[in-house]
């Protein structure tokens, strides 16, 4: 393990890098570089293989990241990119979560979808890390239609 500074005086924190096997990483379309890189980097740094499902809205950027990592020497089979037709997404995700090789699920995206992912992972007793969106920050200016702004905020939270 590795000692890191503790939050409390006199406390001790330790990290242990312990591979679990295959991590399924699912990330959204609206952060294809940063969110994809993070969804890949942490599991790889801990010694895991990664199956990462790119958003059907922006599959090219994650494909370029995967290509760059392979060109940099990442061994074959350690990083596996998957894209699919949007209509097939529920079936593909269900099959991936249910697969016996997948040991962890890492999801970044909408709260509504995250809830579904967590339920599916729980059915298979797989640990799930969720980073959920839907915070929907809103700035309402003095001349705004307040009722319209409220309705837009409600809709944004439900996405």
* Residues with catalytic roles: 131
DSSP letter for 56, please: T
Per-residue exposure over 62-85, b if at least 16 CB sit within 10 Å of its own CB, e if not: beebbeebeeeeeeeebbebeeee
Measured over all CA atoms, what is the biggest interatomic distance in the chain, rounded to whole angstroms? 57
Q: Is 91 helix (H, G, I), strand (E, B) or coil?
A: helix
According to DSSP, the residues that pair with 50 across neighbouring strands are 23, 79
């Amino acid at each position: 393990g590795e000692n890191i500074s503790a939050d409390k005086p006199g406390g001790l924190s330790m990290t242990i890098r312990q591979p679990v096997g295959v991590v399924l990483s699912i990330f959204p379309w609206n952060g294809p570089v940063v969110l994809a890189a993070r969804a890949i980097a942490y599991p790889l740094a801990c010694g895991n293989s990664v199956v990462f499902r790119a958003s059907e809205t922006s599959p090219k950027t994650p494909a370029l990241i995967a290509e760059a990592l392979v060109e940099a020497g990442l061994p074959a089979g350690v990083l596996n990119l998957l894209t699919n037709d949007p209509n097939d997404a529920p079936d593909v995700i269900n099959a991936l979560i249910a697969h016996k090789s997948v040991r962890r699920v890492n999801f970044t995206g909408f709260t509504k979808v995250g809830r579904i992912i967590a339920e599916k992972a729980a059915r298979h007793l797989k640990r799930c890390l969720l980073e959920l969106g839907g915070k929907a920050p809103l700035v309402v200016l003095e001349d705004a239609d307040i009722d319209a702004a409220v309705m837009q905020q409600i809709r944004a939270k439900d996405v």
